[in-house]
Structure 1
Amino acid sequence: MKQHDHKKKIDVVIPTRSPADIEKGLLEAINNEPMFNKIIITEVKPLSKARLEGCKKASTEWVAMFDDDMLIPPNWLQSVLNAVDSKTGAVATVSRQHDASLDAYYNVVSSFYPVDNLDSDPRIGNVLIKRQLMLNFQPTPVFTGEDQHLRGHVENSGYLWKTLPYIGVTHMRRTTINVDTGMYYKRYRYYNNFQLLRRLSARIILGSFTPLVSHRLSTPFNLWKDDVKFLSGWLKETIKST
């Protein structure tokens, strides 16, 4: 299969509420990679449209998009480029959150099966994508679930979305889970009933073991608090749509 020309430059898009929020380590990693071209920082609101607006200002065939709170390893670009072929539309990597409770849960789950190899979530916070695909993208009016929506667009356009195993990408801020999150996942069908049941079952059962890793009895309750909010939103949207 035809591989990406590794000599071509790649523009970078960083959507943010404020340039001051961008992790310095992210900017350093980008500036230290000679294949990265210009950095496009976009403050368009809502954030669901910021990536699109940033890509409109880009000029390269492929664009790298990062959340402003990401940290990437020096080999990030080389790793994703190695996965590109003629059928590929986007390549992302598994990322971990800089949060004690989530890290403990991740370690518990990993003891049962290789999460890094099986995690196929889109991971829009660190992704290399064909610019033309972004230009044809119609983002949702909300930020929640945008990654699922974008992957669907890529696949419906006839390309593959690839999610690589963990290579060192870290999400420095904890993802906010609230009632609205559950509502949007139900409304835009990001989860079906089976996926919801699987998520809640895993968090309840495996979350019970997290104190063995974190040495804190409060860890599972921190996780379950998010799940209660998520389920409340899901049920609220279900009732609303009936």
Structure 2
Amino acid sequence: MTKNFNIWFKNFHAGIVLKVDVLIPTKDPSKIRPRLLQVLKGSDWVGEIIIETSKPLSRARVIGARKCSTEWIAMFDDDVEIPENWFDSILPFIQLKDILAISTPSIDVNNVHMIAYKRVMDHFRPLEQRDAPFIDNTLIKREVLLNYNPSPLFYSEDELLYRYIKKHGKWIHPPSCGVKHFLVMKDLVKAAIIMEQLGFYPLYKFLRSRVAYFTISILAIGYSHTYKTMTFFWKSNIKLMAGFLKARVNKKGII
């Protein structure tokens, strides 16, 4: 066990609660889910709640971390709601060696197509085993954010941070604890352009994921009970491929 976890364990039995500052990066504080704030304000583990509106998002995380004072920071996107036991579900994992960040798979509650897609994917490989950030609910070491100097990005900034963390330690995913994600669809063309220009995915991985979108979306109809699921993902695929091709044609820098 790490020194930090031993201290927490002793404090727990002594009735002393570990305090963690909370960071919510957002463009508009009014867009923060009321239930998220309600749970945070009613939790005894929460120290300061920092709402950071700096732009772009990649820099907001760093600037917000500077305003926090605790060793670990609980970082939430503004479009999530967390269960009251979120911290208890995450905390035991800080004892593991070289852990720098911990996040759980969230549930896209307002998009029936994404829900169905993830349910199919879960049959092939549990979501917590996927190599993805799940950045919308993350316990992360403050120090690693203070030493982070990201490109000024909104799209793909989560993947950029994820890869940075994994170069210096571990970012792990416990099983889902019930975090709800009220998904807001992004500009998929622009997202694909950024991913390609940053060189995140080799061509074969990009093509493999596009094939998965086409095929798994058909299976997902069994959960969504609507053929619109298939068209939703096929349209998304077309946008992603358009962005990928545009980036290949125009390689003058990040758009």
Q: Which TM-score band applies after superposition, normalised by the shorter structure?
A: over 0.9
Q: Structure 2 length normalisation: TM-score?
A: 0.88
Alignment match, 1:221: 231
Report the counterpart of residue 63 of structure 2 in structure 1. 53
Confirm or deny that 1:130 pairs with 2:141.
yes
The answer to whether the 8 Å contact 1:145/1:190 transfers is no
| Structure 1 counterpart of 2:194, one-letter code | Y
Moved more, 164-173 or 19-28: 164-173
Which residues of structure 1 form unaligned runs of 5+? none
Kept in 1, the 8 Å contact 2:74–2:137? The answer is: yes
* Separation in structure 2 between the aligned mates of residue 119 and residue 177 of structure 1, nearest angstrom: 23
Matched, 1:147 2:133: no
Q: Deviations over 1:5-60 (max 9, x none)?
A: 43431000001111110001111111222111010001111122111111110000
Where 2:70 maps in the other structure, the secondary structure is coil
**How far does residue 107 in structure 1 lie from its aligned partner after superposition?**
1.8
Counterpart position of 2:118: 106
Aligned CA distance change for structure 1 residues 154 and 117 (closer, same or farther; 3 Å): closer
- 2:211 aligned with 1:201: yes
Letter in 2 for 1:195: K
1:21 matched residue in structure 2? 31
Amino acid at match of 2:27: R
Cα gap change, 1:155 to 1:108, in 2 (>3 Å): closer
**Alignment partners' CA distance in 2, 1:115 and 1:140:** 31
Answer whether contact 2:128 2:174 (CA < 8 A) is retained. yes
Q: Please say if residues 116 and 223 of structure 2, whose CA atoms lie closer than 8 Å, have aligned partners that are also in contact.
A: yes
- Give yes or no for the alignment of 1:233 onto 2:246: no
Tell me the distance in 2 between the aligned counterparts of 1:18 and 1:222. Answer: 28
Unpaired stretches in structure 2, ≥5 consecutive residues = 9-16
Alpha-carbon offset, residue 81 of structure 1: 1.2
State the 1:67 CA deviation. Answer: 0.3
Residue pair 1:109, 1:115 contacting (<8 A) in 2 also? yes
User: Could you tell me whether the CA contact under 8 Å between 1:63 and 1:129 is conserved in 2?
Assistant: yes
2:182 aligns with 172
- Per residue, is there more strand in 1 or in 2? 1
Q: Report what 2:98 is aligned to.
A: 87
Measure, in 1, the Cα distance between the counterparts of 2:165 and 2:117.
30
Compare the two structures and name the one with the higher helix fraction.
2
User: Is the 8 Å Cα contact of residues 177 and 230 (structure 1) preserved in structure 2?
Assistant: no
For the Cα contact (< 8 Å) 2:83–2:178, is it kept in 1?
yes
TM-score (norm 1): 0.93
State the distance in 1 between where 2:68 and 2:242 align: 40
- In the other structure, the counterpart of 2:108 is 97
Asked if 2 retains the 8 angstrom alpha-carbon contact of 1:177 and 1:226, the reply is no
Q: CA deviation at 1:177?
A: 4.2
Q: Which letter maps to 2:62? A: L
Cα distance in 2, alignment partners of residues 47 and 235 from structure 1: 25
Match of 1:76 among 63, 70, 86: 86
Matched, 1:119 2:130: yes
SS in 2 for 1:167: coil
